[in-house]
Amino acid sequence: MVAALLGSWLLPQITRQWQDHQKALEIQTGLVSDMSTAVSSAVATSRFVAAGLVAGPGEQQAWNNAYRDWTTRSAAIGAKLRAYVGSDVGGEWQSFGYAVTDYVLLSAQPKAGSGRVAQVAEIYGYRDRLPGTQLSRSDWTTLAATRSGSVFQNAYAALGRGLLARQDELVERVLDSHVSGF
């Protein structure tokens, strides 16, 4: 009788719990991998474009691809985070995503009316969540005005490092979270 109970109820229950745990780990691993890949790619490509390492007509294509890839990936990741981890982390990702989008936009060649001041203002509003990023008033002003010169490149690099550090914090939040549905 006890053996039958073990065989028909307890062992399948333990197996199901183990399988659910494995599936939750797969979801978390996939999410953090997608997060890391998307952010690293957006930051690296933006830095290459802003530094003029992609020249000529290839620059616009590289920028277009980076912007499209980032916005598409960010939206997909945000939807998955909300579905599996919850609206708190999903909301944090969305705010972070806006800052990364502004960062990508700042890598473009400045044009009159391009919105650089608004982009810098949005990132400035997010600055307290970018670990280790301390920029001077002059750095922020330069980011809003140009994409050339050492002041811009240094400030832009510091912002990129801050975004990558923030992405690491969000990855930790996902890894510490319970995946819903399991």
pLDDT digit string (tens) for 28-47?
Answer: 999 999 999 999 999 999 99
Q: What is the dihedral of CA 114, 76, 73, 157, to 10 degrees?
A: 70
Rounded to whole angstroms, the Cα distance separating 147 from 52 reads: 9
Q: How many domains does the chain have?
A: 1
Residue 182 covered by a domain: no
Residue 9 covered by a domain: yes
Per-residue pLDDT, 47: 95
Instruction: Specify whether the CB–CB gap between 155 and 142 falls below 8 A.
Output: yes
Per-residue pLDDT, 180: 79
HSE-up of residue 39 (Cα within 13 Å, Cβ side): 28
Residue 80 covered by a domain: yes
The confidence band for 109, taking pLDDT boundaries of 50, 70 and 90, is: confident
Per-residue pLDDT, 57: 81
Residue 79 covered by a domain: yes
Residues 6+ apart with CB under 8 A from 124: 140
Domain that holds residue 16: 2-176
Residue 147 covered by a domain: yes
Please give the model's pTM, rounded to 2 decimal places: 0.87
Mean pLDDT of the chain: 90
180: left (phi over 0), alpha (psi -120 to 50) or beta: beta
Residue 106 covered by a domain: yes
Residue 105 covered by a domain: yes
The confidence band for 11, taking pLDDT boundaries of 50, 70 and 90, is: low
More confident position, 5 or 84: 84
Residue 181 covered by a domain: no
